[in-house]
Structures are given as C-alpha cells and as structure tokens.
Amino acid sequence: MGIESTATDLAMTKSIFVTGGAGYIGSHTCVELLCAGHSVTVFDNFCNSTPEALNRIERISGRQLGRVQGDVRDPRALEDALRASGTTAVMHFAGLKAVGKSVEMPRQYYDANVVGTLCLLDAMERCNVKTLIFSSSATVYGKPEHLPLTEEHPLSATNPYGRTKLVVEDLLRDTFAADASWRFALLRYFNPIGAHSSGLIGEAPQGTPDNLLPFVTQVAMGKREFLNVWGNDYETPDGTGVRDYIHVVDLAIGHLRALQALGQGSSGQCTAINLGTGIGYSVFDVVRTLEQISGRRVPYKIRPRRPGDVAVCYASPERAERLLGWRAERDLQTMCTDAWRWQSQNPQGYEC
C-alpha cells in the first residue's frame, strides 16, 4: 500500500469531494489534490472560513475547483452536489473544532460533527460513493496511558469535541461492519501548525485563537499583548506542556497518500492512522523558535493548568509510514517560518 511516485498519483487522478475545503486543513489539502492532478469540488457553509481561501487555492495551484455553498446537515444539497461533481471519493473536514467552545455548547458540536457525518454518509450511499477520508483527532486517545501513542491505545475523550470525533469513528467502524464495501481512513491528527510556503493560505481564526501558534504569532505582531501559558509545573524539560506539532502541508500530503491507499485492492477497509511527527515540542520551544525567526519578543504570563490538559502527547507515526509510505518532513523551524510569513503578510487573515 506504499506510494511509488507522483507519476502514479497522476495516473490515478480522481474527482474528490471536499467538505470544509475552505478551512485551514481543508484548503491546504485542496492545493495538494489539485497539484496532483485531481479535480476538486469544495462543499462548505463558510461558518468559520471564507470563499477567499478558495480563490487563493486556485492561485497557488493554477487550477480551478468546483464550489458549492451548503451545509453537511442538508441531505438534499449534499446529494445534489455529489451527483453533479461525479465524485469518486470524499474528504470530510467540515465541522466545529474548538475544544473550549465544545464545553460551552456541546449540542451544537454533536449536531455539526455527528449529525453532519450521518447526513454525509446517507448522501454518499444514495450516490454509490463509498470512499471516505475522515478528519479525526488525537483527542480520541484521552489521557495517554503510554507514549508514543499508537493506534491500539485505548480510546476515550475528555471533552465534547473529542467525544464527537470518537462517536463518528465508532459510526464509521459500525458502518463498515455492516457493509464491507465501504472504504474508510480515519486520520487522527496531532497538532497542525504552519502555513503554505507561498504565504497565501494559512490558519485564520475568527476572534481569539484556540490554538497555540496563531496566538503566538499575533502576540509577536503586536495584535495581542501577551500569551497565556497554561502551567509551567509539568514533568517536562521546561515545565510546559509538550505536543506533537505537525506542518499542515505534511498533514495535507498524508491525505493524498490515504486516498491512494484506499484506491488499491478490491476489498473495503476501515483503518485508523496517526498523522504526527513522533516528536514532542514544548510551549516554550514554539515561543523561542518563533521569536528567533521573527526577531520579535513574545511576552507571556504563566497561568494555572487547565483542567483536562496532559503533560505530554506525541504520536507513533509507524503505521502511516508502513501503510501509506508517508512520514512528516518539515521541522519546527519550518513550521514557525511559514506561520510567521502567513501572519506577517496577512495580518487580518483573509480580510483585505
């Protein structure tokens, strides 16, 4: 199931339907899909993204994509768009993703993430499209019992966002058990950061960033006064939490490898795969690297630990390398360099 060459990718070009394709990870994946020769239709309601991201995807790739504005909880709109696109496979990024907000409004998260996936599966079955790459998360591992985290680690979740991902994973496993003609890849992301090297697309949070690096770059830009560091008394080298940060382009390339793997052989499959580097970096590692690259200070204040946060979390990427022929290539300096280029060239995100 390994990847032989880019030529092989181009010889197996497909029509790919991408839900949430204007979002952070979806937009970078659309670039890689188009550059590999695939045709792409984006289905997005733009609730936390913007159509401008699609314009920039086309600028980077030099190719056009299909655009449908719609919600994954609208079965009729999904079915119409799937049929019109002539799709052969779906990449499912649409959903809500902020851990803190999921605690505040859990029903909205179950509605968007779980009900949305149910509607998508129903529409796919009616259109006889049975290949799906699902945007899952390392949050399905809960509190790590051992490191690195392998795909066999016990599954649990410590917040509503993580539970919605786990419920969808169970839904896909149960769907496959009932009908083995489905082909599912459950890609468990660790901590995506960085941006496309062009500086044209990147992470553009609305309001206060939920993730570390956009907050750090906004502090470095002077948009925010200081960074909150949630705990400096963990049993880690510098006392701050350690995470497996992965460049968003490496993550996007992992989706292409999963797409090819699902297209091989005659039988269905349902496989969970970590997409991480296998390397842990602390909060202060990220801050110091960004300071070095930007030449700017990042003031911070130490705050108490947040409930549910763990000291260390990083992946075992061995299954991805074995099944997909994929391994992350970009280091922390590249991640921070690309994130800083995006932030400094687009201080208001996609807003002109």
Positions annotated as catalytic residues are 161
Give the chain's length: 352
Helices (H), 15-89: 24-35, 52-61, 75-85
Task: Give the integer Cα–Cα distance in Å for 98 and 161.
Answer: 7
Neighbours of 264 (CB within 10 A): 12
Judge residue 308's burial from the number of C-beta atoms within 10 Å of its C-beta, 0-12 exposed, 13-18 middle, 19 or more buried. middle
Helices 332-345 and 212-221 meet at what angle, rounded to 10? Answer: 50
Which amino acid is it at 220? A
User: Strands (DSSP E) along 84-207, which ranges?
Assistant: 89-92, 131-137, 183-189, 191-193
Beta strands in 236-319 (DSSP E): 242-243, 245-247, 269-275, 281-282, 300-303, 312-313
CA nearest to 28, candidates 178, 212, 250: 250
Neighbours of 93 (CB within 10 A): 25
Q: Say which residues have a Cβ less than 8 Å from residue 252's Cβ, sequence separation at least 6.
A: 25, 28, 29, 31, 32
Nearest 5°: CA angle at 135, between 323 and 228?
A: 115
Q: How many helices (H) and strands (E) does the chain have?
A: 13, 14
Give the H/E segment covering residue 108: helix 106-109
Query: Which residues is 300 bridged to in the sheet?
Result: 227
